Structure 1
Amino acid sequence: MNLNKSIVTKLMYLSGIMNIGGVLVLSRFFSNKAINQADPVVMSNFGLLMIVVWGLVFLAMAPKWNYLKWVIGAFVIEKFIYGFIWTKWLMNNNLSDVYEQDTMAGIFCTIYGANDWFFCIFYLTVFIYLSKTQNKVI
Structure 2
Amino acid sequence: MKPTSISKIFLFAGLSNILGVLIFSKFFTNDVMMEAQPMVMGHFGLVAFILWGLAYITVRQNYALVPWLLAVFVVEKLVYVLVWLNWLYSNSLGSLYEQDLFAGLFFSIYGINDLLFGLFFGFVFFKVRKSPFLVNRD
- How would you bin the TM-score normalised by the shorter chain? over 0.9
- Is 2:2 the counterpart of 1:4? yes
Q: Write the distance in 1 (CA, Å) between the matches of 2:137 and 2:126.
A: 16
| Aligned with 2:127 (options 119, 126, 129) | 129
1:105 maps to what in 2? 103
Deviation, structure 1 residue 137: 5.8
Name the Cα RMSD after superposition.
1.2
1:58 maps to what in 2? 56
Q: Deviations over 1:46-79 (max 9, x none)?
A: 1011101111111111111111101111100111
Q: Write the distance in 2 (CA, Å) between the matches of 1:48 and 1:94.
A: 21
Deviation, structure 1 residue 100: 0.4
Q: What is the TM-score with the length of structure 1 in the denominator?
A: 0.94
Where structure 2 has 5 or more consecutive residues not aligned to the other structure, the ranges are: none
Q: Write the distance in 2 (CA, Å) between the matches of 1:58 and 1:135.
A: 21
Deviation, structure 1 residue 4: 1.4
1:93 maps to what in 2? 91
| Aligned with 1:14 (options 4, 12, 15) | 12
Work out the percentage of aligned pairs sharing the same amino acid.
36
How many equivalent residue pairs?
Answer: 136
Where structure 1 has 5 or more consecutive residues not aligned to the other structure, the ranges are: none
What is the DSSP-based 3-state SS (H/G/I as helix, E as strand, rest coil) of the residue aligned with 1:62? coil
